[in-house]
Structure 1
Amino acid sequence: MNPTIIVGVIIVVIIFLGIFTVKQQSAVVVQRFGKFNSIRQSGLNFKIPVVDKIAGVVNLRIQQLDVLIETKTKDNVFVKLKVSVQFKVIQDRVYDAFYKLEYPHDQITSYVFDVVRAEVPKLILDDVFERKDNIAVAVKAELNEAMTTYGYDIINTLITDIDPDIQVKNAMNRINAADREKVAAEYEAEASRIRIVAKAKAEAESKRLQGQGIADQRREIAQGLVESVDVLNKVGINSQEASALIVVTQHYDTLQSVGGETNSNLILLPNSPSVATDMLTNMVASFAASSKVKDMMETPNIALAKKGGYKQQNNDNEDDLN
């Protein structure tokens, strides 16, 4: 075989073995005889075959590590927290990230455990929910201080989940439900009070209007009776006869209205013509008795008044004699 061809083949193989590419957002650590030689960035690169060796590839993209931690709060409630840590390798410190720290995920997890278990026991369960951002900030500050030495930059830390014990969650749900029922009961009571007040006002207004209507009705009836008596007096009927006639007329008008009702629960009294006369007689007797009682009550007062006047006159006479 032609030596030139052999040399050409060897050169092609060497070139082929020495050429390599690095992906975007990645860095390659090249060692020469087991010792660090260089860091190659993305693109087409060349190394000496057999002499140079790719030791590893470092990812420069942002990565996320989820850490699940169980700890206890100040009020002795066990709670599980899920902490998401977003980090990346600093581009100009790939050497430190590759050689100083063998297991970065384990290191980050240890720091997260340490900070969370130092912060959460200071807080009660309700404050853990309210101040989860403060816990995340404390975790980030601690991680930044520790991981920068190893060439890592902590982008952000998030408390993505807080999960108390199942019994605690059930108790919290019952408390929340009881509070909502209390508020609902207060609103229902207020609505009931408003309905009762409105109903009472409506009934009061109805009674007032009803009373006013009855008063107006009686006033008109009285006015009608006066006019009726005046008309009967003008045709020669005295007041007693006119009253009897009006009572009898109203009596039979009442019977007629009762008879016209289809559904009536009224009790019918005797309706003979003598009933009206008896009613009138009773009314006249009542008026006479009332007048007599009034006269008897006024007589002593008149006597006392006269007696007092007599004594006053005697005293005046005695004063004149003196």
Structure 2
Amino acid sequence: MANIFSLIFLFIVLIVVFSSFVTVKQGTIAVVTVFGKYRRILFPGLNFKLPLVEQIYSRISIQNRSVELEFQAVTVDQANVYFKAMILYSVFDQSEETIKNVAFKFVDERNLMQALIRTVEGSIRAFVATKRQADVLILRRDIVEHVKEQLDQILEGWGYHLQDLQLNDITFDDVIMKSMSQVVASNNLKAAAENEGQALLITKTKGAEAEGNAIKIAAEAERQAAQLRGQGIALFREEVAKGMSVAAKEMNDANMDTSVILFTMWTEAIKNFAEYSKGNVIFLDGSTDSMKRTMQELMSMNLLNMDQKKA
């Protein structure tokens, strides 16, 4: 009989000893109560508690947690906006006061999540209600900053901190989405037309500049060619005049009539007309009077050239 009581006593002692130690996992803080009243918190590791007196009320995770939201808001111009968002939150810090708020502010985790989600949704709806539908898409960052500013103080009172709010998707009714697509398409067409017009203008401008440059180059080439032709004719005439002067001087020294030179030039001209006329008909007056008149004109021109040289 004594052995039975000894075994029972030993069993009770073992239960008391093992119940005096509790293990708290990493990333978790345990809340201890005594007869339902808050007593203290236990940090990760092996901890001692009074057996049969202190109880583990809850284990609170201090790790980051996330939750996804889907809700609807209405803009100031009565357009429905559909949001898909993700909330990232965590316990504000590991202080005793913060852990007490987390442990006792809400009945359970479900009530906390409901309050958190509804608060975020309400803040976004209030912000969107003051904006136009066309402005919502470009105000994504402003919406996030507004929600954080509104919720930080509220969540801190609950013992939590909103680390991030991501608006993953913002959509509208199908009719609005189609109209927005049409606006984007028309703007793209307008931009394409403007770009095409600019390209055509540039092409025509470059073509006109090239044509103008070509005309300038051709004109300059023609000017230089005309100048060279004039210089060539001048040199030809100068050489002819020199040759005629030498021939005339030699004929004067030989007491010959210089008119023979002019007659020879006239006959050579007729010969060249015949050789290079290419089938054209040239009418020359071959009468004696006409030849005499031509010879007189040539002699007059010769005398005029000689007088100019002497001068």
TM-score (norm 2): 0.68
Aligned pair 1:124/2:132, yes or no? yes
Choose the corresponding residue for 1:96, options 96, 101, 107.
101
Question: Structure 2 matches for 1:6-25, cutoff 5 A?
Answer: 6-25=8-27
Q: Distance in 2 between matches of 1:121 and 1:247?
A: 102
Q: Determine if contact 1:83/1:157 at 8 Å carries over to the other structure.
A: yes
Alignment CA distance shift 1:89-1:8 (3 Å): same
Q: Distance in 2 between matches of 1:201 and 1:117?
A: 65
Give the drift of 1:21.
1.0
1:123-170, Cα deviation, whole Å (9 max, x unpaired): 234533333222212111221232222222233434444344542552
Give the drift of 1:50.
5.0
Q: Distance in 1 between matches of 2:50 and 2:16?
A: 8
Question: Structure 2 matches for 1:1-322, cutoff 5 A?
Answer: 1=3, 3-49=5-51, 51-90=53-92, 91=94, 92=96, 93-101=98-106, 102=108, 103-165=111-173, 166-216=177-227, 218-219=229-230, 222-223=233-234, 226=237, 230=241, 236-238=261-263, 240-251=266-277, 271-272=278-279, 275=280, 278-279=281-282, 281=284
Partner of residue 256, structure 1: none
Alignment CA distance shift 1:194-1:146 (3 Å): same
**Runs of 5+ in structure 1 lacking a partner?**
252-270, 283-322
Give the drift of 1:33.
4.2
Secondary structure of residue in 1 paired with 2:129: helix
Q: Distance in 2 between matches of 1:61 and 1:18?
A: 27
Alignment CA distance shift 1:108-1:183 (3 Å): farther
AA aligned opposite 1:196? G
Partner of residue 293, structure 2: none
Partner of residue 318, structure 1: none
Give the drift of 1:57.
1.5
Q: Distance in 2 between matches of 1:221 and 1:164?
A: 86
Alignment CA distance shift 1:7-1:172 (3 Å): farther
Secondary structure of residue in 2 paired with 1:68: strand
Q: Determine if contact 1:31/1:37 at 8 Å carries over to the other structure.
A: yes
Alignment CA distance shift 1:46-1:176 (3 Å): farther
Q: How many residues align?
A: 259
Q: Distance in 1 between matches of 2:282 and 2:86?
A: 101
**Runs of 5+ in structure 2 lacking a partner?**
248-259, 286-311
Which stretch of structure 1 is more off in the superposition, 108-117 or 3-12?
A: 3-12
Q: Report the identity percentage.
A: 19
Q: Distance in 1 between matches of 2:276 and 2:37?
A: 132
> RMSD of the TM alignment (CA)?
3.4
Alignment CA distance shift 1:241-1:126 (3 Å): farther
Q: Distance in 2 between matches of 1:151 and 1:199?
A: 76
Give the drift of 1:225.
6.2
